[in-house]
Homo-oligomer: A and B are copies of this chain.
């Protein structure tokens, strides 16, 4: 039985607590939050769980084996570091840290101590993304041509991070899991409509070696909510619409065929293929439940999580590069150059 402590009981914390409480082999032993009112909610729902406004009590509690951190990004590094130093496993909310240097330090610390360091890239644990990965890696799509995502809504403006760190992070974590390549360079643009605040609208293009391109389009100030990702391949294409009640993933047997023109070597003939559409039936498991279970299994079986610290680092590095590019109105930022050595 793994005893989990949860730091932060705001928006996401209650979901973590509920899911760890429902996970076989785990129990929630301790919850902390700086706001006593939040803790009284914990107590009323989970009377057996210890609470405190001081996270250090949780970290130092010998009964706690693993800690889930669901606080503001800026505090992730300190809390995760303290947890690892106390010899406990860590599950940290996305994005993993504020800087790639911090992420690298945490990875090193966890490696040295043999502890599990996992990042809560929730989408990776959905049935939809699992199906997309299966189709992509299994070759059904052919060569991958593009990943293109629109993720907009009238959102919760955040004060400490720009909209890329809040919304694009989902796409970067999906791409990290689904694609077999990492971007080599990034160009991003965006704007802050509220003076003194971070950018609330942003566009991010990622270049890869080869014929793959990715683009993520995020906005906290949109009148409608859109969550639509296109994944184009040479053989088939996927539309992933997370707002669809059913049929979230649609696979289109569409594309082009290219033949050199027999008459003119300089002219390509581009033909179009339009075939059936197919929406695979997806499971209905809650992603966070699958993820909580995976975290517990990784601890018990000393395995590397599907979304380990290195995955978290790769995503943070992209966010860093994009933020840098955005500050310079789209200037290309190479990712090779920004890679910390691990």
Question: Could you list which residues of chain A lie within 8 angstroms of chain B, going by C-beta atoms?
Answer: 45, 47, 145-146, 148, 150, 152, 154, 157, 159, 185, 187, 189-191, 193-197, 201, 203, 205, 207, 211, 213, 215, 217, 219, 221-225, 230, 232, 234, 237-239, 243, 245-247, 250, 252-256, 258, 266-268, 270, 272, 274-281, 325, 328-332
Contact = CB atoms under 8 A, between A and B. Distances in A.
B146 A191 contact: yes
A81 to B, nearest CB: 27
Contacts of A213: 189-191, 201
The 9 closest A-B pairs by CB, nearest first: A187-B330, A223-B252, A223-B237, A189-B205, A277-B279, A330-B330, A157-B270, A191-B213, A329-B332
A240 B190 CA distance: 22
Nearest to A266: B196
21 contacts: A146-B219, A146-B221, A148-B219, A150-B150, A152-B230, A189-B205, A191-B213, A193-B234, A194-B256, A194-B270, A201-B213, A215-B217, A221-B232, A223-B230, A223-B239, A223-B252, A224-B239, A253-B281, A278-B278, A279-B279, A330-B330
Given A157-B270, A274-B154, A203 B191 contact: no
B225 A211 contact: no
A230 B222 contact: yes
Nearest to A228: B226
Chain A interface secondary structure, helix, strand, loop or mixed? strand
A228 to B, nearest CB: 8
A203 B205 contact: yes
A22 B266 CA distance: 37
Contacts of A232: 221-223
Contacts of A159: 267-268
Contacts of A280: 276
A330 B145 contact: no
Contacts of A253: 281
Nearest to A275: B281
Given A207-B329, A253-B281, A277-B278, A197 B230 contact: no
A268 B187 contact: no
A309 B161 CA distance: 44
Given A207-B329, A277-B281, A279-B279, 13 more contacts: A145-B193, A145-B221, A146-B201, A154-B256, A154-B272, A189-B207, A215-B217, A246-B277, A274-B281, A278-B278, A329-B332, A330-B332, A331-B331
B224 A252 contact: yes
A145 B192 CA distance: 10
Contacts of A219: 146, 148, 230
B201 A270 contact: no
A237 B222 contact: yes
A137 to B, nearest CB: 19
Nearest to A143: B193
A191 B217 contact: no
A329 B221 contact: no
A268 B189 contact: no
A274 to B, nearest CB: 6
B258 A223 contact: no
B268 A185 contact: no
